[in-house]
Amino acid sequence: MKTFTIARAFKAALIAAAIGGASTAALADIKDYKFELVDQSVQAGPDKVVVVRLINTKTSKPVPDAVIFATRLDMAPDGMQEMATKITPVPGGDPGTYKFKATFGMAGRWQLSLGAKVQGETGTVDNKLVITAEK
C-alpha cells in the first residue's frame, strides 16, 4: 500500500509540474516584451541622454533587470545608415527604464537598435526605435 501511495503522489507531482510549465509558457513569451521611448525627441548635440522603457505588453508593466546586450544608433531613417554614433549605457533611472548617452551630431531621425534578455524568458527582445534629434 505504501508503494501505491508514493506512486500516486509522484504522478500528482508530475501532473502539477506539467500544468505549471504549460501555463507559464502560455502566459509569457519573449514577443510580449517591447521597448518604448520615454521621450520621442532629443536636442541635437553631445552627451544627450535617451531613456527607454521595457514593458510587458500583456500586463503593460515595466520590466526591470533586463540585460541590454546590443545597441546601435544611426541615421538609417534619414538614409544615412553609415552615420552611426557611439551609445553608452548610463546607470540609474526607475526600475524598468534604461538610460543611454549618445552624441547626436546632426538633427534628424536616428534609429536606436536594442536587444535584451529578460529574466526567466528564452530568446531575445529585438526592437528598433526612432528618435528625432531637434536643432
Interface contacts to Cu ion, rule CB under 5 A: 75, 80, 83, 106
What gap in Å lies between CA 78 and CA 65, rounded to an integer? 32
Q: Which is nearer to Cu ion, 83 or 90 (CB)?
A: 83
* Alpha-carbon distances, residue 114 vs 16, 21, 26, 100, 134 (angstroms): 37, 29, 25, 11, 22
- What CA–CA distance (Å, rounded) separates 69 from 118? 11
- Minimum gap (Å) between residue 107 Cβ and Cu ion: 8
Closest CB 78 distance from Cu ion, rounded Å: 6
Pick 54 or 131: Cβ nearer Cu ion = 131
Q: CB-wise, 109 or 117, nearer to Cu ion?
A: 109
Question: Whole-angstrom Cα distance, residue 135 to residue 42?
Answer: 9
In whole angstroms, how close is the CB of 57 to Cu ion at the nearest point? 32
